[in-house]
Amino acid sequence: MLAIVAPGQGAQTPGFLAPWLTGPAVDTVTAFSEAAGIDLAYYGTDADAEAIRDTAIAQPLLVAAGLVAAQALTGDSTVPFRGADIAAGHSVGEITAAAGVGVISPRDAVSLVRERALGMAEASALRPTTMAAVVRGDAAAVVAAIEALGATAANHNGSGQIVAAGTAEQIAELKANPPSGSRVVPLSVAGAFHTSHMEPGRVRLAAAAASLRATDPALTLLSNADGAVVAHGADYLARLVNQVTSPVRWDLCMATMAALGVTGILELPPSGTLTGIAKRNLAGVALFNLNTPDQLDDARAFVAEHASTSSQEA
């Protein structure tokens, strides 16, 4: 049983798109750049870490990179995750997953993430906000400490990591006084995502989503809201909108993967974050980090080893 997963904002690193800019992918990235309104090839190859930290840059770049790699992996531009059993994305990675299973087209996904990114960037500019990972510590005590500061436990990433989001002052206070037994690590993001601070972004995304026609997913698709399997495209699109101001429950997504019998997880580029979380939470599950095209043959072998017979025949 194979899951393909797409990472969220903060996973990006300078130059991570560069290896993929060969052959047909060049034209794909050009088309995605038009949909995003930015030069993705430049930002994915030459821009520095600070430039791609910008929400309006990072989010389209992540979605585009994930879809380029998925299309290269499967050869399917309509359902790029075809051959997997399960799909999920973390935060903005949910838009990658939506296109990966055919809920919306890849180009519509990049157009949609552009509006999400611009709306969240605008919301972030209203007041300095940020996020930080709280590593280790008792989960209940960590959540209590975050909430005591007026911040939000915005990402529940399973044992060993809860991400706090709030004003810059709240997160600075959390870092200065971490919960017992924990360590607070600032994240490379520009706002308090998945909190009420992002309401202007949710409104902008809702307007953009209203113009799209969603189709039902071609394979099992999980939601960050509650880890549930979502069978209807319109429902998933609505969840994408509401997730902008709601916590990411990646812990529940992993619980669903375990319940469904996942044996292998392949993470799309820039990979490593979600497989790292899975390593701590899903004992015995094989992991594959896809980051460069020279890994594609090995990645296809990994897919063939773990995907169910029905998904490979689809």
232 is catalytic: no
What single-letter DSSP state applies at residue 54?
Answer: S
Q: Which of 33, 91, 246, 311 is catalytic?
A: 91
Question: Which of 8, 3, 28, 42 lies closest to 193, judged by CA?
Answer: 8
- Cβ of 79: how many Cβ atoms within 10 Å? 22
Report which residue type is found at 74.
T
CA distance 314 to 294: 26
194 is catalytic: yes
CA distance 170 to 17: 34
CA distance 312 to 53: 37
What single-letter DSSP state applies at residue 103?
Answer: S
CA distance 66 to 307: 19
Question: Which of 230, 205, 204 lies closest to 217, judged by CA?
Answer: 230
Q: Which of 194, 197, 223, 311 is catalytic?
A: 194
* Catalytic residue ranges: 91, 194
